[in-house]
Amino acid sequence: MPGARRENRSLCPLNVSLEILGDRWTLLIVRDLMLKGRKTFREFLDGGENIASNILSDRLSRLEAHGLVERRRNAQDGRGYIYRLTQKGIALAPVLLEMIVWAAQHERTAAPASEVRRMIKHREAFLEEIRTRWAKE
């Protein structure tokens, strides 16, 4: 079954994290949910990353199986779903923030310099904004 949980190679915390999050697409989906406000399958597909629909479906299922994402029927379109981070998923906010800051400081990225400065200078306030926005959804 796609996205089903499987046995970890080892119980090393870094290995466990990588087995859940360590592919090319999973953290981008979490980013889209957390920072870009994307919620539907179509919004993820149209997000500009060129993810294939079968990969997107698999990664959303995996995130759901691991309790990082929940899905519910879309009230406006009963055929589709709305995806939302769970408490466990939103707990990744500090990790994503640090990865964004690290990349922006050491590599060429599209991250606006003013936003990166805000992430660095006002880290806790930035994280609180993310948590507050999530709680209102």
Query: Are 58 and 3 within 8 A, CB to CB?
Result: yes
Within this chain, do residues 62 and 103 fall inside the same structural domain, yes or no? no
Looking at 86, 108, 128, the residue that finishes a domain is 86
Within this chain, do residues 23 and 77 fall inside the same structural domain, yes or no? yes
Q: What is the CATH number of the domain that holds 58?
A: 1.10.10.10
Domain limits at 22? 1-86
Indicate the pTM of the whole model. Answer: 0.88
Beta strand pairing call for 69-73 and 81-85: antiparallel
Within this chain, do residues 99 and 73 fall inside the same structural domain, yes or no? no
d(C-alpha 130, C-alpha 35), whole Å:
7
Per residue in 2-29, pLDDT (tens digit) is 455 567 678 899 998 999 998 989 999 9
Number of domains in the chain: 2
Per residue in 47-72, pLDDT (tens digit) is 989 999 999 999 999 999 999 999 99
Query: Are 20 and 4 within 8 A, CB to CB?
Result: no
| End-to-end CA separation in angstroms for the chain | 30
Within this chain, do residues 61 and 127 fall inside the same structural domain, yes or no? no
